[in-house]
Amino acid sequence: MSEQIFEKVKEVLSQIQEAQPASPEELEAFRIKYLGSKNSIKPLFAEMRNIPNEQKKEFGQKLNELKKTAEAKFAQLKDGLGSTTSKSSAQAIDMTVPVGSLDIGSRHPVSLVLNHMIDVFTRIGFSVAEDREIEDDWHNFTAMNTPEHHPARDMQDTFYLKDSTSMLLRTHTSSVQARMMTAHEPPIRIIAPGRVFRNETISARSHCQFHQVEGLYVDEGVSFADMKQTLLYFAKEMYGAETDIRLRPSYFPFTEPSAEMDVWLGTETETTRKLTKGTGWLEVLGCGMVDPNVLENCGIDSKKYSGYAFGIGIERSAMQKYNISDIRMLFENDTRFLSQFTAAF
Protein backbone atom coordinates (compact mmCIF):
# COMPACT_ATOMS: atom_id res chain seq x y z
CA MET A 1 0.00 0.00 0.00
CA SER A 2 2.71 2.49 0.97
CA GLU A 3 4.69 1.66 -2.20
CA GLN A 4 1.69 2.66 -4.32
CA ILE A 5 1.37 5.95 -2.46
CA PHE A 6 5.08 6.75 -2.92
CA GLU A 7 4.71 5.93 -6.63
CA LYS A 8 1.79 8.37 -6.84
CA VAL A 9 3.96 11.12 -5.34
CA LYS A 10 6.68 10.40 -7.91
CA GLU A 11 4.09 10.49 -10.70
CA VAL A 12 2.76 13.92 -9.65
CA LEU A 13 6.32 15.24 -9.27
CA SER A 14 7.14 14.09 -12.80
CA GLN A 15 4.01 15.77 -14.19
CA ILE A 16 4.96 19.06 -12.53
CA GLN A 17 8.51 18.97 -13.84
CA GLU A 18 7.43 18.16 -17.39
CA ALA A 19 4.62 20.73 -17.58
CA GLN A 20 5.21 23.47 -20.17
CA PRO A 21 2.18 25.77 -20.40
CA ALA A 22 2.41 28.02 -23.44
CA SER A 23 -0.23 30.63 -22.63
CA PRO A 24 -1.58 32.53 -19.61
CA GLU A 25 -4.68 30.32 -19.73
CA GLU A 26 -2.63 27.13 -19.55
CA LEU A 27 -0.52 28.63 -16.75
CA GLU A 28 -3.66 29.39 -14.75
CA ALA A 29 -4.83 25.79 -15.28
CA PHE A 30 -1.43 24.63 -13.94
CA ARG A 31 -1.82 26.84 -10.86
CA ILE A 32 -5.32 25.59 -10.12
CA LYS A 33 -4.29 21.94 -10.56
CA TYR A 34 -1.23 22.02 -8.33
CA LEU A 35 -1.60 25.14 -6.11
CA GLY A 36 -5.34 25.90 -6.02
CA SER A 37 -7.66 25.39 -3.05
CA LYS A 38 -8.62 21.94 -4.40
CA ASN A 39 -5.23 20.99 -5.90
CA SER A 40 -4.15 17.43 -6.67
CA ILE A 41 -1.44 17.46 -3.96
CA LYS A 42 -3.84 17.90 -1.02
CA PRO A 43 -5.31 14.34 -1.22
CA LEU A 44 -1.76 12.95 -0.85
CA PHE A 45 -1.47 14.54 2.60
CA ALA A 46 -4.55 12.54 3.63
CA GLU A 47 -2.66 9.33 2.76
CA MET A 48 -0.33 9.96 5.72
CA ARG A 49 -2.57 7.74 7.86
CA ASN A 50 -1.87 4.79 5.53
CA ILE A 51 1.94 5.15 5.80
CA PRO A 52 3.81 3.03 8.40
CA ASN A 53 5.22 5.05 11.29
CA GLU A 54 8.82 4.44 10.30
CA GLN A 55 8.13 5.95 6.82
CA LYS A 56 5.99 8.92 7.84
CA LYS A 57 8.98 11.30 8.13
CA GLU A 58 10.27 10.37 4.66
CA PHE A 59 6.77 10.65 3.19
CA GLY A 60 6.25 14.08 4.76
CA GLN A 61 9.56 15.32 3.36
CA LYS A 62 8.60 14.14 -0.13
CA LEU A 63 5.23 15.90 0.07
CA ASN A 64 6.88 19.16 1.14
CA GLU A 65 9.39 18.77 -1.69
CA LEU A 66 6.49 18.19 -4.08
CA LYS A 67 4.70 21.34 -2.93
CA LYS A 68 7.85 23.48 -3.13
CA THR A 69 8.60 22.12 -6.61
CA ALA A 70 5.12 23.13 -7.78
CA GLU A 71 5.52 26.64 -6.35
CA ALA A 72 8.97 27.08 -7.89
CA LYS A 73 7.80 25.74 -11.24
CA PHE A 74 4.84 28.11 -11.29
CA ALA A 75 7.04 31.13 -10.44
CA GLN A 76 9.48 30.15 -13.20
CA LEU A 77 6.76 29.68 -15.80
CA LYS A 78 5.05 32.92 -14.76
CA ASP A 79 8.27 34.91 -15.17
CA GLY A 80 8.90 33.31 -18.55
CA LEU A 81 5.42 34.04 -19.91
CA GLY A 82 5.46 37.55 -18.45
CA SER A 83 8.69 38.50 -20.16
CA THR A 84 7.52 37.29 -23.57
CA THR A 85 4.10 38.97 -23.43
CA SER A 86 5.10 42.30 -21.92
CA LYS A 87 8.28 42.97 -23.90
CA SER A 88 6.57 44.34 -27.00
CA SER A 89 4.06 46.45 -25.04
CA ALA A 90 6.80 47.86 -22.80
CA GLN A 91 8.78 48.99 -25.83
CA ALA A 92 5.71 50.92 -27.05
CA ILE A 93 5.42 53.06 -23.91
CA ASP A 94 6.64 56.61 -24.31
CA MET A 95 7.99 57.55 -20.87
CA THR A 96 8.28 61.23 -21.88
CA VAL A 97 4.52 61.78 -22.29
CA PRO A 98 3.08 63.93 -19.45
CA VAL A 99 0.72 62.10 -17.11
CA GLY A 100 -2.92 63.03 -17.64
CA SER A 101 -5.13 64.15 -14.78
CA LEU A 102 -7.20 61.47 -13.09
CA ASP A 103 -10.89 61.96 -12.42
CA ILE A 104 -11.60 61.79 -8.70
CA GLY A 105 -14.73 59.92 -7.79
CA SER A 106 -17.42 61.13 -5.39
CA ARG A 107 -18.99 59.60 -2.33
CA HIS A 108 -22.75 59.36 -2.58
CA PRO A 109 -24.59 61.73 -0.21
CA VAL A 110 -26.42 58.74 1.30
CA SER A 111 -23.05 57.09 2.03
CA LEU A 112 -21.71 60.29 3.57
CA VAL A 113 -24.63 60.61 5.99
CA LEU A 114 -24.70 56.87 6.71
CA ASN A 115 -20.99 56.81 7.55
CA HIS A 116 -21.44 59.84 9.82
CA MET A 117 -24.27 58.13 11.71
CA ILE A 118 -22.28 54.92 12.10
CA ASP A 119 -19.37 56.93 13.47
CA VAL A 120 -21.63 58.67 16.00
CA PHE A 121 -23.07 55.45 17.39
CA THR A 122 -19.86 53.40 17.39
CA ARG A 123 -18.26 56.10 19.55
CA ILE A 124 -20.77 55.29 22.31
CA GLY A 125 -20.44 51.52 22.21
CA PHE A 126 -22.73 50.33 19.42
CA SER A 127 -21.39 47.71 17.00
CA VAL A 128 -22.48 47.37 13.36
CA ALA A 129 -24.61 44.36 12.34
CA GLU A 130 -25.58 43.64 8.73
CA ASP A 131 -27.57 40.83 7.14
CA ARG A 132 -29.57 39.75 4.10
CA GLU A 133 -31.94 41.96 2.07
CA ILE A 134 -34.10 38.98 1.02
CA GLU A 135 -35.77 37.95 4.26
CA ASP A 136 -38.37 35.49 5.50
CA ASP A 137 -41.73 36.43 6.93
CA TRP A 138 -40.88 35.35 10.49
CA HIS A 139 -37.82 37.57 10.97
CA ASN A 140 -39.35 40.53 9.10
CA PHE A 141 -42.84 40.48 10.65
CA THR A 142 -43.74 37.74 13.14
CA ALA A 143 -40.69 38.11 15.40
CA MET A 144 -41.34 41.86 15.43
CA ASN A 145 -44.82 41.36 16.89
CA THR A 146 -46.61 42.29 13.66
CA PRO A 147 -50.08 40.68 13.71
CA GLU A 148 -50.95 38.24 10.95
CA HIS A 149 -53.47 40.57 9.33
CA HIS A 150 -51.57 43.83 9.84
CA PRO A 151 -51.71 46.09 6.72
CA ALA A 152 -47.89 46.12 6.51
CA ARG A 153 -48.03 42.47 5.42
CA ASP A 154 -50.29 43.29 2.49
CA MET A 155 -48.95 43.07 -1.06
CA GLN A 156 -49.55 46.82 -1.51
CA ASP A 157 -46.77 47.56 1.01
CA THR A 158 -44.40 44.60 0.73
CA PHE A 159 -42.49 43.15 -2.22
CA TYR A 160 -42.88 39.36 -2.03
CA LEU A 161 -40.76 37.09 -4.18
CA LYS A 162 -42.48 35.52 -7.16
CA ASP A 163 -44.64 32.52 -6.22
CA SER A 164 -43.84 32.96 -2.53
CA THR A 165 -45.85 34.17 0.45
CA SER A 166 -43.02 33.77 2.96
CA MET A 167 -39.93 35.27 1.26
CA LEU A 168 -39.76 39.01 0.63
CA LEU A 169 -37.55 42.08 0.27
CA ARG A 170 -37.14 43.31 3.83
CA THR A 171 -39.29 46.30 4.70
CA HIS A 172 -37.01 47.42 7.56
CA THR A 173 -33.69 46.41 9.11
CA SER A 174 -35.57 45.26 12.21
CA SER A 175 -35.09 41.78 10.75
CA VAL A 176 -31.38 42.16 11.60
CA GLN A 177 -32.39 42.89 15.19
CA ALA A 178 -34.46 39.70 15.25
CA ARG A 179 -31.56 37.62 13.96
CA MET A 180 -29.16 39.16 16.50
CA MET A 181 -31.54 38.54 19.41
CA THR A 182 -32.16 34.92 18.42
CA ALA A 183 -28.42 34.22 17.99
CA HIS A 184 -26.89 36.17 20.91
CA GLU A 185 -27.50 36.53 24.62
CA PRO A 186 -27.87 40.05 26.10
CA PRO A 187 -26.29 42.51 26.48
CA ILE A 188 -26.87 43.43 22.83
CA ARG A 189 -25.98 46.91 21.59
CA ILE A 190 -26.05 47.18 17.79
CA ILE A 191 -26.94 49.41 14.89
CA ALA A 192 -28.22 47.82 11.68
CA PRO A 193 -27.62 49.99 8.59
CA GLY A 194 -28.93 48.88 5.22
CA ARG A 195 -31.29 49.21 2.29
CA VAL A 196 -34.99 48.38 2.63
CA PHE A 197 -37.91 48.16 0.20
CA ARG A 198 -41.57 49.13 0.33
CA ASN A 199 -44.18 49.15 -2.40
CA GLU A 200 -44.84 52.88 -2.37
CA THR A 201 -45.54 55.41 -5.08
CA ILE A 202 -42.35 57.16 -6.16
CA SER A 203 -42.50 60.92 -5.76
CA ALA A 204 -40.33 63.85 -4.69
CA ARG A 205 -40.73 62.81 -1.02
CA SER A 206 -40.95 58.99 -1.15
CA HIS A 207 -39.38 56.05 -2.96
CA CYS A 208 -39.80 52.27 -3.18
CA GLN A 209 -36.27 51.77 -1.80
CA PHE A 210 -34.41 53.70 0.86
CA HIS A 211 -31.85 53.25 3.64
CA GLN A 212 -32.17 52.96 7.39
CA VAL A 213 -30.01 52.82 10.46
CA GLU A 214 -31.84 50.92 13.18
CA GLY A 215 -30.50 50.65 16.70
CA LEU A 216 -31.08 48.11 19.46
CA TYR A 217 -29.92 47.97 23.07
CA VAL A 218 -31.03 45.07 25.29
CA ASP A 219 -29.73 44.52 28.81
CA GLU A 220 -30.88 44.47 32.41
CA GLY A 221 -32.41 47.73 33.62
CA VAL A 222 -32.52 49.58 30.27
CA SER A 223 -34.99 52.48 30.50
CA PHE A 224 -36.76 55.03 28.35
CA ALA A 225 -34.50 57.68 29.87
CA ASP A 226 -31.45 55.79 28.55
CA MET A 227 -32.94 55.89 25.07
CA LYS A 228 -33.76 59.60 25.28
CA GLN A 229 -30.22 60.48 26.34
CA THR A 230 -28.74 58.38 23.52
CA LEU A 231 -30.96 60.04 20.92
CA LEU A 232 -30.25 63.52 22.28
CA TYR A 233 -26.50 62.82 21.92
CA PHE A 234 -27.10 61.62 18.36
CA ALA A 235 -29.14 64.71 17.45
CA LYS A 236 -26.49 67.11 18.78
CA GLU A 237 -23.75 65.25 16.87
CA MET A 238 -25.77 65.28 13.64
CA TYR A 239 -27.46 68.68 13.70
CA GLY A 240 -25.33 70.80 16.04
CA ALA A 241 -24.63 71.25 19.73
CA GLU A 242 -27.61 73.59 20.24
CA THR A 243 -30.16 71.18 18.73
CA ASP A 244 -33.39 70.60 20.64
CA ILE A 245 -35.48 67.44 20.32
CA ARG A 246 -39.00 66.43 21.23
CA LEU A 247 -40.58 62.99 21.56
CA ARG A 248 -44.19 62.52 20.47
CA PRO A 249 -46.28 59.46 21.38
CA SER A 250 -46.70 57.08 18.46
CA TYR A 251 -47.37 53.42 17.68
CA PHE A 252 -45.15 50.65 16.30
CA PRO A 253 -45.95 46.92 16.65
CA PHE A 254 -42.49 46.10 18.01
CA THR A 255 -42.14 48.82 20.68
CA GLU A 256 -44.26 49.84 23.67
CA PRO A 257 -44.34 52.66 24.56
CA SER A 258 -43.44 54.14 21.17
CA ALA A 259 -42.48 57.64 20.09
CA GLU A 260 -41.36 59.71 17.12
CA MET A 261 -38.50 62.14 17.55
CA ASP A 262 -38.36 65.58 15.96
CA VAL A 263 -35.44 68.00 15.83
CA TRP A 264 -35.90 71.75 15.85
CA LEU A 265 -34.72 73.41 12.62
CA GLY A 266 -36.63 76.67 13.00
CA THR A 267 -38.50 78.68 10.39
CA GLU A 268 -35.93 81.33 9.61
CA THR A 269 -35.33 80.25 6.01
CA GLU A 270 -37.55 79.19 3.14
CA THR A 271 -35.79 75.80 3.08
CA THR A 272 -36.51 75.00 6.74
CA ARG A 273 -40.10 76.23 6.43
CA LYS A 274 -40.67 73.95 3.45
CA LEU A 275 -38.87 70.97 5.01
CA THR A 276 -40.78 71.27 8.31
CA LYS A 277 -44.09 72.31 6.71
CA GLY A 278 -43.91 75.58 8.60
CA THR A 279 -43.70 74.02 12.06
CA GLY A 280 -39.93 74.29 12.55
CA TRP A 281 -39.83 70.63 13.67
CA LEU A 282 -38.49 67.85 11.44
CA GLU A 283 -39.33 64.22 12.18
CA VAL A 284 -36.13 62.17 11.95
CA LEU A 285 -36.79 58.80 13.59
CA GLY A 286 -39.17 56.43 15.36
CA CYS A 287 -38.24 54.78 18.65
CA GLY A 288 -39.52 53.06 21.74
CA MET A 289 -39.00 50.36 24.35
CA VAL A 290 -38.78 46.87 22.85
CA ASP A 291 -42.12 45.14 23.28
CA PRO A 292 -41.84 42.17 25.70
CA ASN A 293 -43.48 39.99 23.04
CA VAL A 294 -40.54 40.70 20.71
CA LEU A 295 -38.05 39.67 23.38
CA GLU A 296 -39.97 36.45 24.10
CA ASN A 297 -40.31 35.66 20.37
CA CYS A 298 -36.53 35.84 20.09
CA GLY A 299 -35.89 33.70 23.16
CA ILE A 300 -35.01 36.49 25.64
CA ASP A 301 -36.53 36.60 29.11
CA SER A 302 -38.61 39.79 29.14
CA LYS A 303 -38.89 39.71 32.94
CA LYS A 304 -35.11 39.94 33.30
CA TYR A 305 -34.19 42.09 30.30
CA SER A 306 -35.52 45.26 28.72
CA GLY A 307 -34.36 47.32 25.79
CA TYR A 308 -34.97 50.17 23.41
CA ALA A 309 -34.93 50.39 19.61
CA PHE A 310 -34.97 53.19 17.05
CA GLY A 311 -34.98 53.58 13.28
CA ILE A 312 -33.60 56.50 11.27
CA GLY A 313 -34.23 57.23 7.58
CA ILE A 314 -30.97 58.14 5.84
CA GLU A 315 -32.41 59.82 2.75
CA ARG A 316 -34.40 62.39 4.74
CA SER A 317 -31.30 63.34 6.72
CA ALA A 318 -29.24 63.59 3.52
CA MET A 319 -31.87 65.82 1.91
CA GLN A 320 -31.86 68.10 4.94
CA LYS A 321 -28.07 68.22 5.23
CA TYR A 322 -27.37 68.93 1.55
CA ASN A 323 -30.53 70.90 0.75
CA ILE A 324 -31.83 68.31 -1.76
CA SER A 325 -35.43 68.92 -2.74
CA ASP A 326 -36.25 65.64 -4.55
CA ILE A 327 -35.49 62.17 -3.17
CA ARG A 328 -35.38 60.74 -6.69
CA MET A 329 -32.10 62.55 -7.28
CA LEU A 330 -30.48 60.16 -4.79
CA PHE A 331 -31.24 57.13 -6.98
CA GLU A 332 -30.78 58.38 -10.56
CA ASN A 333 -26.94 58.29 -10.58
CA ASP A 334 -26.71 61.56 -12.48
CA THR A 335 -22.99 62.40 -12.50
CA ARG A 336 -23.77 66.12 -12.68
CA PHE A 337 -25.52 65.80 -9.32
CA LEU A 338 -23.03 63.39 -7.71
CA SER A 339 -19.96 65.41 -8.75
CA GLN A 340 -21.01 68.09 -6.25
CA PHE A 341 -19.88 65.75 -3.45
CA THR A 342 -16.36 65.11 -4.78
CA ALA A 343 -14.73 66.98 -1.90
CA ALA A 344 -17.19 65.86 0.76
CA PHE A 345 -15.17 62.96 2.20
Question: Average per-residue pLDDT in the chain?
Answer: 86
CA distance 5 to 276: 78
pLDDT classification of 2: cutoffs 50, 70, 90: low
pLDDT of 243-270, one tens digit each? 999 999 999 999 999 999 999 888 888 8
CA angle 62, 30, 73 (to 5 degrees): 50
pLDDT classification of 125: cutoffs 50, 70, 90: very high
CA distance 118 to 124: 10
Q: Residues 212, 223: contact at Cβ < 8 Å?
A: no
Instruction: Specify the pLDDT at position 87.
Output: 47
Residues 140 and 216 in one domain: yes
Residues 27 and 120 in one domain: no
Q: Is the pTM of this model over 0.85?
A: no
Instruction: Specify the pLDDT at position 56.
Output: 75
- Is residue 6 domain-resident? yes
Of residues 130 and 13, more confidently modeled: 130
Query: What is the share, in percent, of the chain residues with pLDDT greater than 90?
Result: 45
Instruction: Specify the pLDDT at position 99.
Output: 78
- Is residue 269 domain-resident? yes
CATH number at residue 296: 3.30.930.10
HSE-up of residue 21 (Cα within 13 Å, Cβ side): 22
Residues 154 and 32 in one domain: no
Residues 200 and 333 in one domain: yes
Angular region, 125: left φ>0, alpha ψ -120 to 50, beta rest: left
pLDDT classification of 155: cutoffs 50, 70, 90: low
Quick one: which of 307, 325, 232, 225 has its CA closest to 270? 325
Overall number of domains in the chain: 2
CA–CA distance from 13 to each of 112, 184, 231 (Å)?
Answer: 55, 50, 66
Q: Residues 211, 314: contact at Cβ < 8 Å?
A: yes
- Is residue 247 domain-resident? yes
Print the domain residue range for 174.
Answer: 109-341
- Looking only at the bridges linking them, the beta strands covering 188-197 and 127-128 are parallel
Residues 219 and 304 in one domain: yes
What are the φ and ψ backbone dihedral angles of 122, each rounded to 5 degrees? -70, -25
Quick one: which of 136, 210, 204, 149 has its CA closest to 176? 136
Of residues 42 and 181, more confidently modeled: 181
Q: Residues 114, 314: contact at Cβ < 8 Å?
A: yes
Q: Average pLDDT, stretch 152-168?
A: 82
Of residues 32 and 287, more confidently modeled: 287
pLDDT classification of 133: cutoffs 50, 70, 90: very high
Instruction: Specify the pLDDT at position 297.
Output: 94
pLDDT of 30-89, one tens digit each? 788 878 877 777 787 777 777 777 887 887 787 788 788 878 877 887 777 765 554 455
Q: Average pLDDT, stretch 204-229?
A: 94
CA–CA distance from 118 to each of 113, 114, 128, 238, 335 (Å)?
Answer: 9, 6, 8, 11, 26
Q: Average pLDDT, stretch 217-231?
A: 96
Query: What is the share, in percent, of the chain residues with pLDDT greater than 70?
Result: 94
Instruction: Specify the pLDDT at position 300.
Output: 96
Angular region, 277: left φ>0, alpha ψ -120 to 50, beta rest: left
CA distance 150 to 141: 9
- Is residue 94 domain-resident? no
What's the DSSP call for residue 294?
H
Residues 71 and 32 in one domain: yes
